[in-house]
Amino acid sequence: MAKEQRVVFIIFGGSGDLAHRKLYPALFKLYLKGYLHHHFAVIGTARRPWSHEYFRQTVMESIGEDIGDQEKISSFAQHFYYQSHDVNDAAHYLALKKLAAKLSQQYQSHGNQIFYMAIAPRFFGVVAQHLHAENLLTTTGYNRIIIEKPFGRDVQSATTLNAGIAAAFSEKQIYRVDHYLGKEVVQSLPLLRFTNPLLEAVWNHHYISNIQITLAETLGVGERAGYYETAGALRDMIQNHALQILGLLAMEKPAEFSSQAIHQQKEQLFAQLPQYSPSQIEQNFVRGQYDTDKKGDQLAYRQADNVANDSSIETFVAGKILINNSRWQGVPFYVRSGKRLRQKSTRIDIVFKNNHSKIFTPSQLQTSTVQPVILSICVEPVQGLSLTLNGTNPGRGLKPFAHKLKFQQSLEEMNNSQEAYEKLLIDIIQGDQTNFTTWNEQKLTWGFIDRIREYWDHTRPQFPNYLSSTFGPQQSAALLAQDHHKWVWGSED
Ligand code: NAD
């Protein structure tokens, strides 16, 4: 059993989708594992006037029966309390403070408090300011604030938001969620890099040709169109998830595996992101927007509810990022994310150079070419690793043959693996900030994204430019072709 933690959670947006679909099931898993036991309480706040009993009912319904038996679910739900709350009303914070203090006594949680912002981003700042002004932070225990994405929409709005939060909470108390950092395979990247000498030794421009990061979704924009029209794939996926993965892949080796050392290396790396000029943006970044599919069955992005019929918002981005340091000189990091693509896939492909095979003449190799060695790291929907190595087939002499070594987690192992929110909540209650983003990381990644966004805002794209259920626009393949490379995933299209 895990060590029991004492804490009162205060969830702003306690009646919302994130809370019900992700947070309550994840908290219940922590309860089953013993991280939460007797000494915890959860206050859900939202505008609706719900009773504690009704709230508990909604919490119980959000937990699938496959996770635990009814008795456990019901004893878990007894720890939940509801407080009707308007984020702008100071009096409501005083009522919340009273309830939190009472529950802290009742559950002997030692004044430890976690404030979870499961509300619209426009409320993050005002809630943080009221928590400060109405004195909700305890002096006896810890106080942590959890901020969901998006953290601003450009460097300016992110700075304003951060200043609002920083007025009440120190950086050590702020947990900025990027749920891709909660995924097991993403969390394991430092371990993969730094415990395998055969990888660590070749993790540089001498041996690596290019690195590809793909975040592909099959779903369209669905009900998030209102938000998406103000964001687009560049802000929604690249600024945070894709660049965070890039950071873990490209950072220098930290002195130790600690939150501080990892963030220090990532920040240093993000400070080296290129400052692209307009012509470099034109050359290195492409965007797309989905149309219907080949048969005309699916709605194009522009036909979705709450989307302008001449919208220039991109649902696809592919870009080439060059990190100009001694390790990565000349190695393109290609990042790609899109909606309505043919398959769902989050993966990293590391393509090695094969110029070390030049000692063989074509006739020695029986005119076959040596394929590049590729390490593929699959994050979802399947988790696993594959590595191609050049060898030969028996009886065929020196003719090269690419052998694929593959490890794929079984369905059972995948079912046992912890969901991103469960892992992140464990980190939060244990005070580990490794898998959250720092303000400096946010500032530097927004700085990189803003230049592209500003340039795109002043140039009108020819949209739509890719059919649903394909691998994206033709410009995406062309981006790599100009470097004589191709996407490992989906290059047949
Ligand atoms: P939602 O619309 O389902 O829920 C919003 C909540 O905020 C509701 O409980 C509502 O009652 C409350 N609320 C609205 N106005 C309020 C006010 N004036 N005062 C007090 N409470 C108020 O939204 P969601 O999908 O749960 O998203 C919440 C946050 O999580 C957003 O920042 C979103 O970007 C982020 N997020 C959500 C998901 C997801 O899967 N839903 C994933 C990643 C990030």
**DSSP letters spanning 217-244:** -S---GGGHHHHTTT-HIIIIIIIIIHH
Q: Which residues in the chain come in under a pLDDT of 50?
A: 493
231 Cβ below 6 A of ligand 1: no
Among 241, 263, 403, 484, the one annotated catalytic: 241
Going from the C-alpha of 410 to that of each of 6, 75, 127, 405, 421, the distances in angstroms are: 35, 33, 43, 16, 21
- Separation of 116 CA from ligand 1 center, angstroms? 11
Atom of ligand 1 nearest to the CA of 124: 32
| The pLDDT value given to residue 492 | 58
Closest residue CA from atom 40 of ligand 1: 18
Query: For all residues of the chain together, what is the average pLDDT?
Result: 95
148 Cβ below 6 A of ligand 1: yes
Label each residue of 402-460 as H, E or C. Answer: EEEEEEECCHHHHHHCCCHHHHHHHHHHHCCCCCCECHHHHHHHHHHHHHHHHHHHCCC
Atom of ligand 1 nearest to the CA of 87: 19
pTM of the predicted protein model: 0.96
10 Cβ below 6 A of ligand 1: no
- Separation of 344 CA from ligand 1 center, angstroms? 25
| The pLDDT value given to residue 493 | 45
Q: Is 241 a catalytic residue?
A: yes
Give the residue, out of 15, 59, 119, 122, with the most ligand 1 atoms within 8 A of its beta carbon, to mutate for a pocket test: 119
Distance, CA of 153 to CA of 252 (rounded, Å): 28
223 Cβ below 6 A of ligand 1: no
Tokens of 100: 């939190």
Contact 141, 109 (CB under 8 A): yes
Closest residue CA from atom 31 of ligand 1: 120
If you count them, how many residues does the chain have? Answer: 493
